[in-house]
Amino acid sequence: MAEESSRRLVTDATNTPQGYFQSTSLSSAIGLNAKNGRWALLQAVGQNIRWRDDGTDPTAAEGMLLLVGNPMPYYGDLKTIRFIETAASAELNVSVYY
């Protein structure tokens, strides 16, 4: 169901792609390098990822959970969201839209 929901969002004609990137270095908290976006589609690969968008870095044990296999649209401030892996070898895929 989550995949079907994200597919609809991405194929909506009002969404203009602004870029894609993948991070494979998540052993410490990182942010997005998304300057021109209104929202992002996030995907964890390999391991779950934790995120926070309140100005505090997540830890491997604290923060909201982005589960492997469940893409998540994020509509908050792309400059404040931060990510960290819950276990080694996590990857984060990000597509940014305006």
Class of domain 2-97 as given by CATH: mainly beta
Digit-coded pLDDT (tens) for 38-49 = 999 999 999 999
Confidence of residue 36 (pLDDT cuts 50, 70, 90): confident
Quote the pTM value.
0.85
Percent of the chain with pLDDT over 90: 78
Question: What tens digit of pLDDT does each residue of 49-86 get?
Answer: 999 999 999 999 999 999 999 999 999 999 999 999 99
- Domains of the chain, by residue range, sit at 2-97
The fraction of the chain above a pLDDT of 70, given in percent, is 88
- What is the SS3 string spanning the chain? CHHHHHHHHHHCCCCCEEEEEEECCCCCCEECCCCCCCEEEEEEECCCEEEECCCCCCCCCCCEEECECCCEEECCCCCCCEEEECCCCCEEEEEEEC
